[in-house]
Structure 1
Amino acid sequence: MFLLAAMPAVAQQKITLPEIWSGAFAAQGMDELKAMDNSNEYTVLNANYNTGSATIDLYDFTTLNKISTLVDSKRYKEFEGIDDYSFSPDEKQLLLATGSEQIFRHSFVADYYIFDIKEKVPVAVSDQKIQEPTFSADGSKIAYGRDNNLFVYDLATKNTKQITTDGKKNAIINGITDWVYEEEFAFVRAYEWNKAGDKIAYIRFDETAVPQFSMDMYNQGLYPQVETFKYPKAGEKNATVSLHIYDVKTNTDKEIKLGNYFDFYIPRLKWTNDAQTLSVQVLNRHQNNLDLIFIDATTGTAKVVLNEKDKAYVDVTDNLTFLNDNSFIWTSEKDGYNHIYHYAKTGKLIDQVTKGAWEVTTYYGFDNKTGNIFYQSVENGSVNRDIYRISINGKNKVRLTAQTGTNAATFSPNFDYFINSFSSAVKATEYTLNSSKDGKLVKGIVNNDALMTKLANYNIPQKEFTVITTAKGNQLNAWFIKPKDFDATKKYPVLMYQYSGPGSQQVNNEWGSYDDYWFSMLAQQGYIVACVDGRGTGFKGAEFKKVTYKELGKYEVEDQIDAAKVIGQYPYVDASRIGIWGWSYGGFMSSNCILKGADVFKMAIAVAPVTNWRFYDSVYTERYMQTPQENPTGYDDNSPINHASKLKGSYLLIHGTADDNVHVQNSMLMIEALVQANKQFDWAIYPDRNHGIYGGKTRLQLYTKMTNFIKEKL
């Protein structure tokens, strides 16, 4: 009887790093879920990572039944699996990417094939790897980028026309973004077909005067190879951009004069429903003035129809949607929170559709049939996400999701149904079919019950959500993971995790990532793990987010230090054993905290940190800081490299040498500053690894190193 009673305690398994990084706890999902435009169906990319093969399967939105397999890669010698896919406008053909080669975070080249769904015969678009191909509106042509130029392939004749000729590496790029646009404006394809398929609008980047950055790539060779690319750092010369419209019928190219702009960005371009009217968003370099401009493609005339200004910065919107009458949906935080607005095609405001002290987080679309708008918001608490529908006049709002956590939707083409992805901190992701009328469950699709059953054997502790009020009166969202056998009479060490970048969020009610399993592993080993979202983070209004303007690393660091002091006062916390860690902006933060909060934090780990904002790119840094020439003290007062002499605790600095984003220069010069301050610290450099530091056993080795450092120093 004694042995039987003891069995449950003995049977509880401990999480291990090899399990985490082998994917043992990975959740099931619906990869590349795409709703069709012309039928009430959706597709999913079902990949078999063991065999390297993949299928694109078609499903009925109403019944969820599989209709057919559109393509199976293993049946074709041309395909090394399927990396990406898109449909022709009539959805009778597919563009399939295979053999992809990554360039930067979002960009890649691949072998692309046109795949006729009925004939099931793949046809190569080009005999070389290409970028960002798209069908014309009538499906007769495909435009794509290659070697910094744009090309048009005719499906009927199989002829290819090169429509730009001056593309040159590290000099001129046509129709594909440069490094800083890709990273900070988050798009690669800088060209768009119009609705008639007779014109292509594109952005041309002249990088000639942009300073060049070089990285050594070791690659196990006798001599390292040098990778060079254009990278504009804060205050340095950006690429000169110009807007062009190419007429496919006449083979003529016209540069569009946007107006009296100097040193500006074109972060978005989109054709309206009028085939000869193009819209572009234009930002000044300070990014505090955004103009929405309509361009007549036949005459080239440009007119500002909407202007947004802000004392700090204006966020670019991805939610511009043109309705049948060419009125448009726009999202803005001009009233202090991000909301949906409806404008006439002239730019005159018709209605503010959503209102309140909460943020719209995703705009899903407009249903012409019912006049309803569908969106996601944090109205049910800033750590949660719910799906709503509302009339375009701002009335008749209905919450369509019932479970508290993170809900995300993919709507059917007729807006009758949506596939809801739901998870919470205690519930792994599940996919269900729901009614768009009232949100009621129609049918389950994918669940992770098997994973939940498996995890039950590990007795994983749950996240506890709370709000911390600092001595300065700031109320900050937080979560804690405590040991499962937590004893309030004991004293525990605490590891704080954060990111803290502008508009970000780490305290959210969602199923965890690999890091969360690591945190649970640390809790099993006797640590409390905590996370606090300080001022500057997102989804609590513009004022809370933009308080850090011109002083990145001041208020966010204050809040982490002040939160640590509050946590240190808890009776079950050993205030002499509080550590902090973070990656990228989080590494910048953890570095600042161990230096500025030297009497609060015992240890810190910084992975791929910015150590001096003068080293980081122009678009991101200047959005929040202006230029170093305009704001030198804002840069210097809050850069860790200038506070190296304050180090008291244990510090681990980690970086990859092939980080094209936050250059290893940041860590190398931080190392030199610490050496010259005669400070002892630990560091690790990962050859040829980028900002993500992964590949092979890299993540396992990295997290083993960090775990050992925490156990030794905290």
Structure 2
Amino acid sequence: MKRLAIGIGLGAALLVTLSLCGAEKEDRWRLTVSRIFAGPEFDAQSFSARWLEDGTGYLVVEPSRDTPAGQDIVRYDAETGARRVVVSAADLVPPDRPVPLKIDGYAFSQDRSLVLIYTNSRRVWRRHTRGDYWVLDRASHELRKLGGGVPPSTLMFAKFSPDGRYVAYVHDNDLYLEDLRDGGIQALTTSGSDTVINGTFDWVYEEELKLRDGFVWSPDSRRIAYWQIDTRGVRRFVLVNNTDGLYPKLKWFAYPKAGQRNPRCRVGVLDIAARRTRWLEVPGDPRDNYLARMQWAGPRKVLLQQLNRLQNANRVMLADACSGQVKTLFVERDEAWVDVHDELFWLDDGRRFTWMSERDGWRHVYVGSLSDGHLRRITAGSYDVIRLLHVDEKEGWLYLIASPHDPTQRYLYRVRLEGGKPERLTPDDQSGTHGYRISPGARWAIHSWSSFGRPPRVELVKLPSHEVVRTLVDNERLRGKLEALRRGHTELFRVDIGEGVVLDAWCIQPPHMNAKKKYPLVVYVYGEPAAQTVLDRWGGKRFLWHLLLAQHGYVVMSFDNRGTPAPRGRAWRKVIYRQVGILAPADQAAAVRAVLAQRSYIDAQRIGVWGWSGGGSMTLNAIFKYPKLYKTAIAVA
């Protein structure tokens, strides 16, 4: 306990010392806490765009050139770069307001005659999913607010029906339908309350299954499929909010702990004409299974994914929207756990679909049959498909992200729909992390590329040649800021911890380091199944924080232990099963010992560790299990 107290004191002293540096006169070469976190000086410019359905151009929300404080929705032609405003900020000024609506989100009706604008958004749990919605008629320029007289910022997940006649949305845990012809509003469900949730989710489903938007229109606009969560009987957890008022406030919410009662979940199909819900006859206890995914498979069929409570079986089912009857297509099983993937693309007019599975020991792409559930493997080999990005059925290609030879990299490949050897499209001389938003037809892609210590560059490229058409974001301003900083050597490397286990790692050294001297080491750790820390990509303000530590004489390192989601095969990722808090800190400690043996400039008596979230608990495991190795720890959140 004495050692822990000393460690906490040292951690606090470190933070205070570095914070005081922010009060000093700033030099361009020197980082301070305030320079990193207090303002936008080191913010990277991003680029957000949506491809048009025909693949000829993309849409971007930009500050208006003509209307102060407004935003335009702008179309850019992929071939020529020609710019055209398709929704003007001038059309987004409500009659009773002096300024245009701020665009937090938008959607077009299928015929593109109407635009749905999401604005005035508020946070629900982690994301801004509650706000106001307005509809703009592009022909008449009429702008009107949805929801009638509901309070501001209380509508959720509004979306056009495919035929453009209606908008459905969630308000106070019930589904509503608004007729765009006459403005009439009807409640589609009436059971919503603090404990019964229709069309959206409770904390558990949002946090653990990444589900927020809980309803989907059928392709023919005749039905809505939606989730219902019933938290009655689930024990309550209380949060004490003492941050934004003189007196604390309490927030109670349903929160099942391990072994306790879960909320009840079911999926219903609501007939718009009859205003009646048909509940799907999903097998199993609705409190001990999770309905993890749901989507339409044509106008009368719903595809469901059901996880058991142990999350080691994913039952994929096809439901009849009219009768409610359900049949199982196949069950994905794993002795440890199964991951829910969202890379499901429809093929052959909805008769087949893509599927991701680790059933052969590596994550690969399969094609499943909607008639009998048979799965046929498309990709094969001792490598992982990290993500399936796009399917070009017309030309017969799958586009995917993989890195067969280096888990720290992310590259674009394509492979034939009938299978075969993957073809790398990312240039061989561009190491780092690459992301792509591929156009319909796969002729173009918006390509983002960054590496360790190098901020993102965004380009429009042609596929499959990867020829750069134009640069969209270069982040030259930020690059100039970074080049002015005093920086030491940085590297990605691998460390052998014995018994055939080799970990990926990175290191940031102090500027002008003298290898004959001893330097304290700070280890940044996460180490859980949710994320890697060792990736060849821009690390943002966290990277700058580590660079600040290096400027003050610290060596900073990070290691990806076994159990992190690196593309190194199922065995690597699942070895942590029932070993959380045991295997990972052991791997981390072994990595520290290995670099101590290899790098004489590290002071073995001054080693600290820090982490956030799962990395915070990993930090505590590290210092409690290996107190002779780590001398201080900073565990956050």
CA distance in 1, matches of 2:277, 2:445: 42
Match among 30, 37, 43 for residue 26 of structure 1: 43
Matches within 5 A, 1:354-393: 354-393=379-418
**1:113 corresponds to which residue?**
134
- Cα deviation digits, residues 269-303 of structure 1 (max 9, x gap): 0001x211110101111111111111111222211
Task: Please state if 1:268 is matched with 2:296.
Answer: no
In structure 1, what is the equivalent of residue 623 of structure 2?
594
Query: Residues 231-380 of structure 1: matches in 2 within 5 Å?
Result: 231-261=255-285, 263-272=288-297, 274-323=298-347, 324-349=349-374, 351-380=376-405
What is the alpha-carbon distance in structure 2 between the residues aligned to residue 39 and residue 564 of structure 1?
50
* Counterpart mapping for 1:609-688 below 5 A: none
Tell me what 2:442 maps to.
Answer: 415
Residues 566 and 217 from structure 1, CA distance in 2 versus in 1: closer, same or farther, beyond 3 angstroms?
same
Letter in 1 for 2:278: K
* 1:475-494 equivalences in 2 (<5 Å): 475-494=502-521
Given that 1:27 and 1:451 are in contact with CA atoms closer than 8 Å, whether structure 2 keeps it comes out as yes
Residue identity in the other structure for 1:17? V
* Corresponding position of 2:573: 545
TM-score, normalised relative to structure 2: 0.89
CA distance in 2, matches of 1:607, 1:104: 19
Partner residue in 2 for 1:66? 83
Residue 182 of structure 2 aligns to which amino acid in structure 1? T
CA contact (8 A) 2:495 2:503 kept: yes
1:383 is displaced (CA, Å) by 0.6
Report the equivalent of 2:221: 197
Q: What SS is found at the alignment partner of 1:502?
A: coil
Q: Tell me if structure 2 keeps the 8 A contact 1:351–1:393.
A: no
Q: Give the Å deviation of 1:360.
A: 1.5
Q: Deviations over 1:352-380 (max 9, x none)?
A: 11122222222122113201111111225
Supply the distance in 1 between the matched residues of 2:457 and 2:209 (Cα, whole angstroms). Answer: 31
Query: Following the alignment from structure 2 to structure 1, what is the Cα–Cα distance between the partners of residues 115 and 627?
Result: 57
Aligned mate of 2:635, from 603, 606, 613: 606
In structure 2, the residue matched to 1:182 is 206
Assess, with a 3 A threshold, how the Cα gap between structure 1 residues 487 and 361 changes in structure 2: closer, same or farther: same
Shift in CA distance, 93/260, structure 1 to aligned 2, threshold 3 Å: same
Q: Secondary structure at the match of 2:127?
A: coil
Shift of 1:384: 0.6
Return the alpha-carbon distance in structure 2 between the equivalents of residues 231 and 90 of structure 1: 43
Residues 500-511 of structure 1 aligned to structure 2 (within 5 Å): 500-511=527-538
Query: Are 1:426 and 1:462, in contact at CA under 8 Å, matched by a contact in 2?
Result: no
Superposition deviation, residue 224 in structure 1: 2.6
Give the counterpart letter for 1:26 in structure 2. D
Tell me which of 546, 558, 569 is aligned to 1:519. Answer: 546
Aligned match of 1:160: 185
Query: Kindly tell me: are residues 168 and 47 of structure 1, through their superposed partners in 2, closer, same or farther at Cα, counting changes over 3 Å?
Result: farther
How far apart, CA to CA, are the structure 2 residues paired with 1:428 and 1:145? 39
Distance 1:218 1:535 in 2: 39
- Aligned: 1:36 with 2:52: yes
Between the two proteins, what is the percent identity of the paired residues?
31
Deviations 1:566-592 (A, max 9, x none): 222221110111100001100000011
Q: Distance in 2 between matches of 1:151 and 1:460?
A: 56
Partner deviation per Cα, 1:238-270 (whole Å, 9 max, x = no partner)? 101112110012221111111244511001100
My pick for the range that moved more, 542-551 or 374-383, is 374-383
Go from structure 1 to structure 2 and tell me whether the alpha carbon gap of 1:366 and 1:471 turns closer, same or farther (over 3 Å shift). closer
* Unpaired stretches in structure 2, ≥5 consecutive residues: 1-25
Give the structure 2 partner of residue 86 of structure 1.
107
Q: Within the alignment, does 1:562 sit opposite 2:579 as a pair?
A: no
Q: Encode CA deviations 1:517-569: one digit per residue, 9 max, x unaligned.
A: 01111111111100001011012211111111122111001011111112222
Amino acid at match of 1:321: F
Residue 343 of structure 1 contacts residue 350 of structure 1 at CA under 8 Å; is this kept in 2?
yes
Q: Deviations over 1:413-445 (max 9, x none)?
A: 222111111111143211111122222222222
In 2, distance between residues paired with 1:45 and 1:380? Answer: 38
1:457 equivalent to 2:490? Answer no
Contact 1:399 1:439 in 2 (8 A): no
Q: Which amino acid in 1 is paired with 2:233?
A: A
CA deviations over 1:158-182 (Å, ceiling 9, x no partner): 111101111101x100110111111
Partners of 2:230 and 2:69 lie apart in 1 by 39
CA distance in structure 1 between the partners assigned to 2:467 and 2:27 by the alignment = 40
Counterpart of 2:124 in structure 1: which amino acid?
A: I
Q: CA deviation at 1:396?
A: 5.7
Alpha-carbon separation, structure 2, partners of 1:550 and 1:476 = 20
* Residue aligning to 2:6: none
Q: How much has 1:473 moved relative to structure 2?
A: 3.9
Whether contact under 8 Å (1:366, 1:374) holds in the other structure is yes
TM-score norm. by structure 1 comes to: 0.80
Structure-2 residue corresponding to 1:97: 118
Q: Which moved more, 1:442-451 or 1:386-395?
A: 442-451
Higher mean alpha-carbon deviation, 90-99 vs 18-27, is at 90-99
**Cα distance in 1, alignment partners of residues 511 and 398 from structure 2:** 44
Unaligned runs of 5+ in 1: 1-9, 609-714
Q: Secondary structure at the match of 1:470?
A: strand
Cα 1:497–1:221 change in 2 (3 A) is: closer
Using a 3 Å threshold, how does the CA distance of structure 1 residues 107 and 456 change in structure 2: closer, same or farther? closer
In 1, Cα distance between equivalents of 2:481 and 2:243: 40
SS at match of 1:485: coil
Aligned twin of 1:56: 73
Structure 1 Cα separation of the partners of residues 444 and 486 of structure 2: 37
> What is the CA-CA distance between 1:454 and the residue it aligns to?
2.4
Q: What is the CA–CA distance in structure 2 between the aligned matches of 1:347 and 1:481, rounded to whole Å?
A: 53
1:471 positional shift = 3.9
**Do 1:40 and 1:414's aligned partners in 2 also have CA atoms closer than 8 Å?**
no
Say if 1:266 and 1:283, in contact at 8 Å, map to a contact too.
yes
Query: What CA distance in whole angstroms lies between the structure 2 residues aligned with 1:468 and 1:560?
Result: 11
Q: Match of 1:657? A: none
| 1:132 aligned to which of 157, 175, 185 | 157
Report deviation, 1:462: 5.0
Residue 151 of structure 1 and its aligned partner are, at CA, apart by 0.8
Give me the whole-angstrom Cα distance separating, in 1, the residues matched to 2:42 and 2:383: 34
| Deviation readout 1:375-405 (Å, 9 max, x if unpaired) | 1112252111111121101136321111111
| Contact in 2 for aligned 1:148/1:167 (Cα 8 Å) | yes
Retained in 2: the 8 A contact 1:52–1:80? no
| CA distance in 2 between partners of 1:260 and 1:98 (Å) | 40
**Quick one: structure 1 residues 120 and 328, their matched pair in 2 at CA, closer, same or farther if it must change by over 3 Å?**
same
